Amino acid sequence: MASDYTVGDLVAEFLAACGVTTAFGIASVHNIPMLDAIGRRNTIRFMMARGELGGAHMADGYARVSGGLGVIFSSTGPGAANAVGGLIEARFAGSPVLHITGQTATRHVDREMGAVHDAFDQLGMLGSVCKAAYRVRSAQQALGVLTRAATEALSAPMGPVSVEIPIDLQRVQIERPAMLDNFVLPLPPPRVPTAAELDELAARVLAAKRPLLWLGNGAKGAGRAAAKLLNLGFGIVSSFNGRGTVPEDHPRNLGALIGNGMKTITDFYETVDLCLVVGCRLRGHETGDCALKLPTNIVQVDTDPAANGRTYASSYFVAGDAAATLDGLLSRIEGKLAVAPGYTDEFAALKRTAQQEFLGTLGLYGTFSAQLRQAMPRDAIWVRDVTQNNTTWGNRIFPLNDPHQNVYPVGAGIGQGLQLGIGAAAASGDRRTVVMTGDGGFFLNVGELWTAVQEKLDLTVVVMNDRGYGVIKRIQDATQQGRRFFADLQGPDLERLAALSDIPFFRCTSADTFGATVSRALEIRGLTLVEVDMNAVGEFPPYYPFNRRAA
């Protein structure tokens, strides 16, 4: 007797077996059998994005907050191409995203016959931006390919993986694989360094008197061990993507105030005799293309052996899982590490001085971080787009308490914040989600606002509206003698836009009412919109590197 179970059903059941409860995307001619199976099974919430680009960013935001697999379904050809921008960002961020796309029927693939959506070398396109890309070439190998793809996405260093499933194969009837009854992804165990490696690492740490711990995205699972190192006398600094691994309200946690453009911090780095870098690329974006002067003695821990010397040279490198390596280190140094007298007090003083100095450069906007921190719940998800406000206080000063609160465009692409926020809100449970975006980024993908409306998400969107591309204007001021071509932006009135879907709207027109305005929006469950009229508040001041301050 023929089975009525198809490859499309297998896709839906496989995702549920992997713990996926939410997926994103758009229904199309080349993915309908898979989405039909998801709809019939009714175990996965499918959120209808307005575009594949938005859906890919949503899957990314969902993965960052949930810590699990983010899933995006796209169509073939133009649909898969539309998802590419979101997949690139997921690769930047190290997010485990599984992109499942259709493909023309197997008899047409790669033959340039002009079938619907038949893109030239779609698999090559996806492979160029993802960690890996695979095509299902027969019904019997579908489960194996999906397993490999999801495993690769979730294996360190994590990233997006694409799978093509031709439309004819999605409809093939197969016997349900019995192995799905107790399915577990074959994730590889994290690498634990050898005893000799840990002994050498411990010896180098014990020789330090003024140690600094630098945390990146790869250290997010090592928060407990990092907090213990802090208690032993380390100071902490984080990459933008490693924030919140240890709560940033600790007096010796600089957060992402890494010192680029701040002589106060770079001078202090000269007194540090050990910089222990864990799970961090020391990205050029944050270090001025590696011009930032870091402590000379860098010891690095990373799960990716290729991280060794990729940006800054290391005096010693350990290839290993962050948590396992730091746990092994702690067992060797607890009760033995002796930092220099007064070092911990000096580091706490450095944080106070550096934060005051940094906030002092922001003029009227210097109070915004404190106002918003008071308005937002401690566990709220903090999502940002590329804006002048985020480039300054949003990324560097606003304190975070957990790594899964921290969502922003790691690749510095504009217009991603709203969609990342929608995905984050879908994974946030009872936690509130706040998105800060500029008007330029908001209007770029404003149609996705109605995804949040339709899904009834608990989301507050704060639009910093200066009626233009403020970041671009700063670059033009610095590099084009102040000629601001093509940087002014006309957009719809935000209050009237909100009224189209009865979205509660609030407007801030003065610096001292920012926090109170956001608080009013947060009192309402569901989607709310806040406009900060930056022209009324006052112009945002030049910031590093546009204020010409030398490191």
Same domain, 143 and 264: no
Do both 168 and 269 map to the same domain?
A: no
CA angle 358, 360, 365 (to 5 degrees): 100
Q: Do 138 and 227 fall within a single domain?
A: no
Average pLDDT over residues 255-279: 96
Question: Could you write out the DSSP letters of every residue in 255-281?
Answer: TT---TT-HHHHHHHTT-SEEEEES--
Tell me the C-alpha distance between 440 and 463, whole Å: 9
Q: Where are the alpha helices (DSSP H) in 180-231?
A: 195-206, 223-231
CA angle 208, 211, 213 (to 5 degrees): 140
- pLDDT-derived band at 1, boundaries 50, 70, 90: very low
Number of structural domains, the chain?
A: 3
Helix (H, G, I), strand (E, B) or coil at 245: coil
Q: Is there a single domain that holds both residue 369 and residue 510?
A: yes
Neighbours of 7 (CB within 10 A): 25
* pLDDT at site 469: 86
Looking at the fold, whether 205 and 122 belong to one and the same domain comes out as no
Residue 433 CA, chain-centre distance (Å), reads 14
Task: State which amino acid sits at residue 223.
Answer: G
Where a domain ends, among 348, 370, 392?
Answer: 348
Percent of the chain with pLDDT over 90: 88
Q: What is the pLDDT of residue 549?
A: 46
CA distances from 486 to 49, 443, 469, 473, 490 (A): 29, 16, 9, 9, 11
108 pLDDT above the threshold of 90: no
Integer angstrom CA distances of residue 262 from 241, 267, 356, 361, 549: 20, 9, 12, 11, 8
Domain end position, chosen among 151, 182, 213: 182
The CB-based long-range contact list for 484-489 (8 Å cut-off, 24+ gap) reads 489/439, 489/440, 489/443
| CATH classification of the domain holding 509 | 3.40.50.970
Whether 309 and 343 map to the same domain: the answer is yes
- Please tell me the predicted confidence (pLDDT) of residue 287: 93
Average pLDDT, integer, range 94-103: 96
Q: Which of 107-111, 149-153, 318-322, 394-398 has the lowest mean pLDDT?
A: 107-111
Nearest to 365 by CA among 464, 450, 259: 464
The CATH code of the domain that includes 339 is 3.40.50.1220
Quick one: average pLDDT of 105-127?
81
What is this structure's pTM? 0.95
Same-domain pairing of 134 and 24: yes
Q: What is the crossing angle of helices 52-66 and 417-427, to 10°?
A: 50
Least confident of 142-156, 341-355, 486-500: 486-500
Evaluate whether residue 549 is within a structural domain: no
For range 545-551, the mean pLDDT: 60
Q: Give me the mean pLDDT over the 119-126 stretch.
A: 89
Mean pLDDT of 6-30: 96
Same-domain pairing of 262 and 408: no
330 and 406, same domain (yes or no) = no
Phi, psi dihedrals of residue 218, rounded to the nearest 5°: -70, -5
**Chosen domain end from 285, 318, 348:** 348
Nearest residue to 22 via CA among 64, 67, 72: 72
Domain that residue 429 falls in: 361-537
Residue with the two structure tokens 């947060």: 522
For residue 354, being part of any structural domain is answered with no
Q: Is 161 found in the same domain as 44?
A: yes
What integer pLDDT is reported at residue 487 of this predicted model? 86
Determine the Cα–Cα distance for residues 165 and 172; give it in Å rounded to an integer: 11
pLDDT at 479: 87
CA separation for the pair 228, 378 (Å, rounded): 22
Share of the chain above pLDDT 70, in %: 98
- CB-based contacts of 39: which residues, under 8 Å, 6+ apart? 46
The answer on pLDDT for 398 being more than 50 is yes
Give the number of C-alpha atoms closer than 13 A to the C-alpha of residue 141, restricted to the C-beta side: 12
Asked, as a colleague might, if the bond just before 545 is cis with ω within 30 of 0, I would say: yes
Rounded mean pLDDT, 424-443: 96
Q: Does the pLDDT at position 545 exceed 80?
A: no
Q: Which residue has the higher pLDDT, 154 or 547?
A: 154
**Which pLDDT score is estimated for 2?**
55
Same domain, residue pair 386 and 480? yes
* 64-93 pLDDT per residue, tens: 999 999 999 999 999 999 999 999 999 999
Residue 406 falls inside a structural domain: yes
pLDDT digits (tens, 9 = 90+) for 29-61: 899 999 999 999 999 999 999 999 999 999 999
Note the pLDDT of residue 551: 37
Query: Are 202 and 178 contained in the same domain?
Result: no
**DSSP codes, 112-176:** T---TT--TTHHHHHHHHSSEEEE--SGGGHHHHHHHHHHHHHSSSP--EEEEEEHHHHT-B-PP
In this prediction, residue 333 carries a pLDDT of 98
Q: Which residue has the tokens 């990716």?
A: 304
- State residue 119's pLDDT score: 76
Q: At what angle do helices 32-41 and 7-17 cross, to 10 degrees?
A: 50
Q: Are 518 and 434 in contact (CB under 8 A)?
A: yes
